[in-house]
């Protein structure tokens, strides 16, 4: 790419990001935000409007907005209806789909249960493709589906292959290649680990209040994690950073996991918690029932909660000692145990850190079961507003 086109692309993406972050603003305000001359900013805006990415219309009193004169200025804003970004989560026994517009607002959602054992890996992928195709039709003919990201509770390599999905016993799923075959017209396609996607959803939700150094723990049948450092998602040398559920916590947990005995998820994952409740003499019929029994003061449920808090606190101490995050965010269905057990988790965290070690803030995400799908759509939205390094530095597109 020629230097003038590269610079223009960078400024266009910066302008889109500023409009998303700050909301509608005048051309003059946008020029100040980007550090550009008014004429350059005007040219950038004209290009974005021509492409359908931005709209101009409303007027604002410049003096009221802190400008030097009282003349009216035309507001520039993102064209929310120009594009859509879809996240599709293939969880344990459920599909969740979410669509965002260009302003990252939810415009559509869908959920459906499925029997993983009955469908098998090929059948599950085929059903996911069919759901996305039907979901796409609900977005309307005038809205371009610019990005699609599918998420799974497993390890995904750089080629979009699901290397391992231990909770379901699947491996070697060529998910990204199947999506490319099914949706060749979609500009951006990706496959992501569900915990990374959940973390991105929380990152978007928190906005300016998010911590630049944070660890996100997604707790369901398995335990996943994501690490944000300097406000960026860290993937590690091979893309596998954040596999917190596989941390060795003991010789043997409360349930035999699909992969590693004694791993964190064998102590604090969903099946481990329910198994521990049975061990203590409880007869709960699921996580919601266990929570109700905790609230009612059942002794077996209380002992189960204490065990869960102890082992979670130990694991969080390891995370705090290793990465020193400002915040650890817990999410997913099993994280509901944190509310009644917060004091016990904090006590275990303190007990397993050196005296004086700074404690991270602990928080439970308010995001529900659609968190990974929401985050997957947010990943595509973020990519659409980011500078394309391949295009700028390696000449990915000419013209």
What confidence tens digit (pLDDT) does each residue in 48-79 have?
999 999 999 865 555 444 444 555 568 999 99
What is the percentage of the chain residues whose pLDDT exceeds 70?
91
217 and 345, same domain (yes or no): yes
Does any domain span residue 188? yes
pLDDT of residue 325: 94
- Domain tally, the chain: 3
Does any domain span residue 394? no
Confidence of residue 395 (pLDDT cuts 50, 70, 90): low
Does any domain span residue 113? yes
91 and 65, same domain (yes or no): no
Domain CATH for 300: 3.30.420.40
Round to whole Å and give the CA distance between 232 and 200.
10
Per the CB < 8 A criterion, the answer to whether 173 and 124 are in contact is no
Round to whole Å and give the CA distance between 219 and 44.
44
**What SS3 state is found at 140?**
coil
225 and 357, same domain (yes or no): yes
Per the CB < 8 A criterion, the answer to whether 224 and 215 are in contact is no
pLDDT above 50 for 397: no
Alpha-carbon dihedral angle through residues 319, 320, 324, 328, given to the nearest 10 degrees? 80
pLDDT above 70 for 311: yes
pLDDT above 50 for 38: yes
**What SS3 state is found at 34?**
helix
User: Cβ of 160: how many Cβ atoms within 10 Å?
Assistant: 19
Confidence of residue 232 (pLDDT cuts 50, 70, 90): confident
Round to whole Å and give the CA distance between 326 and 257.
30
Confidence of residue 255 (pLDDT cuts 50, 70, 90): confident
Round to whole Å and give the CA distance between 90 and 258.
18
Round to whole Å and give the CA distance between 302 and 295.
9
Q: How many residues does the chain have?
A: 399
331 and 234, same domain (yes or no): yes
93 and 16, same domain (yes or no): no
pLDDT of residue 398: 38
pLDDT of residue 65: 46
Least confident of 85-89, 199-203, 237-241: 237-241
142 and 107, same domain (yes or no): yes
Does any domain span residue 278? yes
Does any domain span residue 96? yes
Tell me which residue has tokens 């293939």. Answer: 90
Confidence of residue 260 (pLDDT cuts 50, 70, 90): confident
Domain end position, chosen among 55, 78, 101: 78
Per the CB < 8 A criterion, the answer to whether 362 and 346 are in contact is yes
Confidence of residue 391 (pLDDT cuts 50, 70, 90): low
pLDDT of residue 66: 44
Can you point out the beta strands (E) in the chain?
25-26, 54-61, 72-78, 83-90, 94-101, 106-113, 144-152, 155-156, 162-165, 170-173, 188-193, 214-219, 223-229, 232-234, 327-331, 361-364
Least confident of 65-69, 114-118, 147-151, 161-165: 65-69
Distances from the Cα of 63 to the Cα of 37, 38, 70, 269, 375, angstroms: 19, 17, 4, 57, 39
pLDDT of residue 267: 95
345 and 213, same domain (yes or no): yes
232 and 338, same domain (yes or no): yes
- Residues 87-108 have a mean pLDDT of 95
112 and 244, same domain (yes or no): no
User: Cβ of 208: how many Cβ atoms within 10 Å?
Assistant: 5
Residue range 343-382, pLDDT digits in tens: 999 999 999 999 999 999 999 999 988 999 999 999 999 9
Does any domain span residue 227? yes
pLDDT of residue 237: 84
Structural domain of residue 96, as residue ranges? 82-199+372-385
List the strands of the sheet with 170-173, edge to edge: 155-156, 162-165, 170-173
- Residues 229-253 have a mean pLDDT of 86
Task: Select the highest-mean-pLDDT range: 113-122, 156-165, 204-213, 331-340.
Answer: 331-340
Does any domain span residue 392? no
What is the percentage of the chain residues whose pLDDT exceeds 90?
69
For all residues of the chain together, what is the average pLDDT?
89
- Residues 172-198 have a mean pLDDT of 94
- Residues 334-346 have a mean pLDDT of 97
Q: With 0-12 CB in 10 A as exposed, 13-18 as middle and 19+ as buried, what is 315?
A: buried
Per the CB < 8 A criterion, the answer to whether 156 and 193 are in contact is yes
Q: Angle 38-50/27-34 helices, nearest 10 degrees? A: 110
Tell me which residue has tokens 């850190």. Answer: 353
Does any domain span residue 396? no
74 and 86, same domain (yes or no): no
């Amino acid at each position: 790419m020629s230097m003038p086109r590269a610079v223009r692309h960078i400024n266009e993406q910066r302008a889109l990001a500023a409009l998303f972050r700050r909301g509608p603003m005048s051309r003059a305000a946008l020029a100040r935000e980007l550090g550009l001359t008014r004429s350059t900013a005007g040219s950038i805006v004209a290009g974005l409007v021509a492409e359908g990415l931005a709209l101009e219309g409303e007027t604002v009193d410049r003096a009221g907005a802190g400008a030097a004169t009282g003349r009216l200025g035309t507001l520039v804003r993102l064209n929310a209806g120009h594009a859509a970004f879809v996240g599709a989560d293939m969880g344990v026994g459920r599909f969740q789909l979410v669509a965002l517009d260009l302003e990252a607002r939810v415009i559509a959602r869908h959920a459906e249960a499925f029997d993983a054992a009955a469908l098998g890996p090929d059948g599950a992928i085929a059903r996911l493709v069919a759901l996305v195709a039907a979901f796409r039709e609900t977005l309307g003919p005038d809205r371009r589906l610019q990005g699609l990201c599918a998420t799974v509770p497993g390890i995904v390599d750089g080629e979009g292959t699901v290397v391992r999905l231990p909770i379901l016993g699947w491996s070697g799923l060529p998910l990204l290649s199947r999506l490319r075959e099914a949706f060749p017209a979609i500009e951006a396609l990706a496959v992501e680990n569900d915990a990374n996607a959940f973390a991105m959803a929380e990152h978007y939700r928190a906005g300016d209040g998010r911590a630049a150094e944070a660890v996100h723990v997604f707790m369901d049948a398995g335990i996943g994690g994501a690490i944000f450092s300097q406000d960026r998602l860290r993937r590690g040398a091979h893309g596998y950073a954040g596999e917190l559920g596989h941390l060795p916590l003991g010789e043997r947990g409360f349930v035999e996991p699909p992969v590693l005995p004694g791993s964190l998820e064998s102590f604090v994952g969903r099946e481990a918690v329910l198994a521990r409740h049975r061990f203590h003499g409880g007869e709960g019929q699921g996580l919601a029932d266990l929570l109700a029994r905790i609230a009612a003061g059942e002794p077996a449920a209380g002992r189960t909660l204490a065990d869960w808090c102890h082992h979670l606190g130990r694991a969080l101490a390891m995370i705090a000692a290793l990465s020193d995050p400002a915040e650890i965010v817990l999410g997913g269905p099993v994280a509901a145990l944190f509310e009644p057990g917060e004091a016990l988790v904090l006590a275990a965290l303190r007990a397993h850190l050196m005296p004086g070690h700074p404690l991270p803030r602990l928080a439970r995400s308010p995001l529900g079961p659609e968190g990974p799908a929401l985050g997957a759509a947010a990943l595509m939205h973020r990519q659409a507003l980011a500078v394309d390094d391949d295009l700028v530095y390696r000449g990915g597109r000419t013209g």
